[in-house]
């Protein structure tokens, strides 16, 4: 029987125009390939150029979804107001000291994007600041861009007289760069319009570095330009391999401009002295297939976080700064299996690194004079921990953020010698929050191959587990990305309504080390999907929930996850939320024109050259494995200008799912015609999207 809140509206019928694709002696038919605009690159920059028949179909899909979900309006609004009520209307980041100023971002009441401001300080002490000066009003900028607005970089020059900032007004992640004179208040465009958004200043306060996208939306080259002269942009570095992305940043001490060329398994760094920005870039160490590294200079050495020499969970090595590119690296913090080193920061007198053991993070600080290390310990069963990275190189303080599923985020400045913690900020929940009203559990659920999967649960303390509660099961499981067990105010709207919120720390992430990632990619990718299904089944077996009371939720590669899990076990789920889902894997990984395809072959395999990769991807790609089944209700979202998961993937998937739906539940598609991968960009507008997803989940479960 259909859920009581769904209308009798009929979904749009997508025309079928079968097209046959043949590669490696294998053929497949795609009846919905027509949904991909042949000139998609132009659509990314100019959405109005979308082919008329495609636009008509997407608009029909949106109208159908709007009609079906219209009865959810009051619940969506209620959840939105709850989420909004948990955010401070007037909130501010902790000021970050830089020279004689401290910089921060804050929201005024009603702000969607906020303002960037600074105040003068003495000796880096942010507690003795002067009057505030607003250096950029993002909400004022956004007023001229009603459809979409996203601010990229906001970077002050080293003499604090100029500000570089970038804006994306299409959702395509092409950013235009502007320079603002902080003395006069005047801003002007640099006519750089297809950057990735980041801007790095050289020490001369005149030269900026940025990354350009090519015609296929790939970040492929670093340019520099002296903004005080009319010189043309100077090509600093160009990547010839389409499988590598390019980025630019500055080193910990700001002595170097760092150019990184990387894919998911290999990296290479080129360096330019920040004091000599017109010098040629020099390669620190040539790329070696499968070797990753990052650099952090301290005391005449580059400390290198790397997986070199078989250090699966990474180690820290070092090399003299002035050594030749082929000089050997020496071990500093040896590789320890099971102890994953996640990040490294260098200070004038200290090294700080973040590790994860047994799915929990830990911070280690090393006094470089004495060589003595010490840890910062925490007591909760599950928590999230992160290095903030916004203290100066010369500082004796490092900054970190701590939270747990029940505990709001706390930001600390930690004195690395005295070990004193200064609480700089505690996340406030204006509408009220009592940690004791909630319970967190960490489970280990056995997968079908005997591996144990960590699962973090959050639910109300007074929830009667024996009644088999509805459960939203969130997962990702790709690129090594790990879902931290941190505090999230939004999910409380589900938990307060009797849901269990479950995070499945499946293979493909790094919850149990780098090996956990390797065991969920390439030929082992099916482990990711099996783990997710097995966690869902395990939660049912343990009595937390039951078949049909699970809501599958994932976005991007997490959309692939829930799509593959749905094909594998459609009866397990009572509803599915797939946000910008990467579901047309075989077609996307076979299309070299798409931005992410060559760089992501190390993650998924290359079906253009490798028969085994083709067959494996074909075996799990959600779009290619839909069968006749009584599918639960699905809510699928996408963005017209999304360069990561192109709009036609969710559109094709929705159409083919309907072809094979033997039940009565609706398959809903909502394409944001004015946004990309991240959806709405405003502080409150983004909440409305989440509120609708949660209203869908609550209603679907209430109707069972």
pLDDT tens figures, 87-113: 999 999 999 999 999 999 999 999 999
Sheet of 256-262: strand order equals 245-250, 256-262, 267-273, 282-283
Any idea of the CA torsion for 16, 641, 669, 662, to the nearest 10 degrees?
40
Using the predicted structure, report yes or no on whether residue 2 has a pLDDT greater than 50.
no
Any idea of the CA torsion for 179, 182, 186, 191, to the nearest 10 degrees?
0
The region, left, alpha or beta by phi > 0 then psi within -120 to 50, assigned to residue 305 is: beta
Q: Residues 269, 275, 280, 284: is their CA dihedral positive or negative?
A: negative
* Model confidence, pTM: 0.92
Contact (Cβ atoms closer than 8 angstroms) between residue 194 and residue 210: no
Q: Considering the chain, what percentage of its residues have pLDDT values greater than 90?
A: 88
pLDDT of residue 378: 84
The stretch 512-529 carries a mean pLDDT of: 96
pLDDT of residue 6: 60
Contact (Cβ atoms closer than 8 angstroms) between residue 95 and residue 391: no
Using the predicted structure, report yes or no on whether residue 682 has a pLDDT greater than 80.
no
pLDDT level of residue 445 (50, 70, 90 thresholds): very high
pLDDT of residue 184: 96
Q: How many CB atoms lie within 10 A of CB 592?
A: 13
pLDDT of residue 688: 93
Window from 197-211, 376-390, 550-564, 594-608 with minimum mean pLDDT: 376-390
Q: Residues 439, 686, 343, 531: is their CA dihedral positive or negative?
A: positive
pLDDT of residue 678: 65
The stretch 672-700 carries a mean pLDDT of: 86
Provide the annotated active-site residues.
Answer: 556, 642, 677
Q: In sequence order, what are the residues at sequence separation of 6 or more whose Cβ sits closer than 8 angstroms to the Cβ of residue 687?
A: 80, 83, 84, 490
pLDDT level of residue 680 (50, 70, 90 thresholds): low
Using the predicted structure, report yes or no on whether residue 432 has a pLDDT greater than 50.
yes
Q: Which domains, from first to last, does the chain contain?
A: 19-85+432-702 (3.40.50.1820), 91-137 (no CATH)
pLDDT of residue 359: 76
Using the predicted structure, report yes or no on whether residue 69 has a pLDDT greater than 50.
yes
For residues 238 and 195, what is the distance between their CA atoms, to the nearest angstrom? Answer: 14
For residues 131 and 117, what is the distance between their CA atoms, to the nearest angstrom? Answer: 10
pLDDT level of residue 677 (50, 70, 90 thresholds): low
Window from 244-258, 612-626, 673-687 with minimum mean pLDDT: 673-687
Q: Mean pLDDT across the chain, nearest whole number?
A: 94
- What would the pLDDT profile of 302-319 be if each residue is shown by its tens digit? 999 999 999 999 999 999
The region, left, alpha or beta by phi > 0 then psi within -120 to 50, assigned to residue 556 is: left
pLDDT level of residue 483 (50, 70, 90 thresholds): confident
pLDDT of residue 466: 86
Using the predicted structure, report yes or no on whether residue 1 has a pLDDT greater than 60.
no
- Name the token pair of 539: 């939660």
Contact (Cβ atoms closer than 8 angstroms) between residue 556 and residue 645: yes
- What would the pLDDT profile of 384-406 be if each residue is shown by its tens digit? 899 999 999 999 999 999 999 99
pLDDT of residue 679: 60
Contact (Cβ atoms closer than 8 angstroms) between residue 163 and residue 156: yes
Contact (Cβ atoms closer than 8 angstroms) between residue 438 and residue 405: yes
| Residue in 546, 423, 552, 400 with CA at minimum distance from that of residue 484 | 400
- Angstrom distances, CA of residue 385 to CA of 124, 338, 393, 485, 504: 25, 18, 21, 9, 18
Using the predicted structure, report yes or no on whether residue 700 has a pLDDT greater than 50.
yes
Using the predicted structure, report yes or no on whether residue 507 has a pLDDT greater than 50.
yes
- Name the token pair of 647: 């709009």
pLDDT of residue 676: 64
- Angstrom distances, CA of residue 445 to CA of 149, 406, 455: 42, 22, 7
For residues 245 and 598, what is the distance between their CA atoms, to the nearest angstrom? Answer: 10
Q: Which pairing describes strands 667-672 and 634-639: parallel, antiparallel, or unpaired?
A: parallel
Contact (Cβ atoms closer than 8 angstroms) between residue 232 and residue 249: no
pLDDT of residue 130: 87
Using the predicted structure, report yes or no on whether residue 3 has a pLDDT greater than 70.
no
How far from chain centre, in Å, is Cα 36?
25
Specify the higher pLDDT residue, 415 or 173: 415
DSSP 194-220: EE-S--EE-TTSSEEEEEEE-TTS-EE
Q: Residues 130, 136, 138, 141: is their CA dihedral positive or negative?
A: positive
For residues 430 and 419, what is the distance between their CA atoms, to the nearest angstrom? Answer: 31
pLDDT of residue 382: 80
């Amino acid at each position: 029987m259909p859920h009581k809140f769904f209308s009798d509206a009929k979904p749009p019928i997508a025309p079928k125009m079968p097209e046959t694709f043949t590669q490696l002696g294998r053929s497949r038919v795609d009846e919905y390939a027509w949904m991909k605009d042949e000139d998609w690159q132009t659509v990314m920059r100019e959405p109005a150029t979308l082919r008329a028949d495609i636009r008509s179909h997407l608009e029909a899909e949106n109208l159908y979804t709007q009609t079906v979900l219209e009865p959810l309006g009051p619940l969506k609004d209620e959840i939105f107001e709850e989420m909004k009520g948990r955010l401070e209307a007037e909130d501010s980041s902790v000021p970050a000291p830089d020279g004689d100023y401290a910089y921060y971002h804050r929201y005024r009441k009603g702000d969607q994007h906020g303002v960037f401001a600074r105040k003068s300080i003495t000796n880096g002490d942010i507690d003795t600041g002067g009057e505030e000066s607003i250096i950029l009003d993002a909400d004022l900028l956004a007023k001229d861009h009603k459809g979409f607005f996203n601010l990229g970089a906001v970077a002050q020059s080293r003499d604090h007289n100029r500000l570089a900032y970038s804006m994306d007004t299409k959702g395509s992640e092409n950013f235009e760069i502007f320079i603002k004179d902080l003395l006069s208040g005047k801003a002007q465009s640099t006519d750089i319009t297809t950057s990735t958004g980041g801007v790095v200043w050289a020490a001369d306060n005149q030269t900026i570095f940025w990354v350009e996208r090519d015609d296929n939306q790939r970040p492929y080259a670093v340019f520099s330009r002296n903004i005080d002269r009319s010189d043309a942009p100077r090509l600093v570095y160009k990547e010839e391999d389409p499988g590598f992305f390019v980025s630019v940043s500055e080193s910990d001490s700001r002595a170097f401009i760092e150019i990184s060329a990387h894919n998911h398994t290999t990296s290479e760094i080129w360096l330019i002295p920040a004091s000599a920005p017109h010098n040629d870039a020099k390669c620190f160490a040539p790329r070696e297939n499968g070797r990753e590294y990052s650099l952090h200079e301290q005391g005449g050495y580059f400390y290198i976080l790397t997986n070199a020499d078989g250090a699966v969970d990474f180690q820290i090595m070092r090399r003299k700064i002035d050594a030749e590119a082929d000089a050997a690296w020496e071990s500093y913090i040896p590789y320890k299996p099971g102890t994953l080193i996640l990040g490294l920061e260098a200070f004038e007198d200290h090294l700080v690194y973040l590790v994860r053991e047994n799915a929990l993070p830990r911070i280690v600080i090393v006094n470089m004079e004495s060589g003595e290390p010490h840890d910062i310990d925490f007591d909760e069963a599950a928590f999230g921990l992160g290095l903030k990275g916004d203290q100066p190189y010369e500082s004796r303080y490092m900054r970190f953020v701590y939270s747990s599923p029940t505990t709001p985020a706390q930001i600390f400045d930690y004195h690395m010698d005295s070990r004193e913690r200064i609480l700089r900020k505690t996340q406030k929940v204006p509408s009220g929050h009592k940690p004791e009203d909630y319970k967190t559990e960490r489970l280990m659920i056995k997968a079908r191959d005997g591996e144990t999967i960590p699962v973090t649960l959050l639910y109300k303390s007074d929830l009667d587990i024996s009644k088999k509660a509805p459960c939203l099961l969130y997962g990702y499981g790709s690129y090594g990305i790990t879902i931290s067990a941190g505090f999230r105010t939004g999910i409380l709207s589900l938990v307060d309504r009797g849901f269990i919120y479950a995070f499945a720390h499946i293979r493909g992430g790094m919850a149990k080390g780098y090996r956990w990632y390797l065991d969920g990619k390439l030929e082992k990718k099916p482990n990711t999907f099996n783990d997710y299904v097995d966690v869902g089944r395990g939660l049912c077996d343990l009595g937390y929930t039951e078949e049909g009371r699970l809501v599958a939720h994932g976005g991007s590669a997490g959309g692939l996850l829930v799509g593959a899990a749905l094909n594998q076990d459609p009866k397990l789920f009572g509803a599915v939320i797939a946000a910008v889902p990467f579901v047309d894997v075989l077609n996307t990984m076979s299309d070299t024109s798409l931005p992410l395809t060559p760089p992501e072959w190390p993650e998924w395999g290359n079906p253009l050259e490798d028969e085994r990769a083709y067959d494996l991807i074909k075996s799990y790609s959600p779009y290619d494995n839909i069968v006749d089944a009584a599918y639960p209700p699905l809510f699928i979202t996408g963005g017209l200008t999304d360069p990561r998961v192109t709009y036609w993937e969710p559109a094709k998937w929705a159409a083919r799912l309907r072809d094979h739906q033997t039940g009565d539940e609706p398959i809903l598609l909502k394409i944001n015609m004015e946004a990309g991968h991240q959806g709405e960009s405003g502080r409150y507008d983004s909440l409305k999207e989440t509120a609708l997803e949660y209203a869908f989940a609550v209603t679907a479960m209430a109707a069972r």
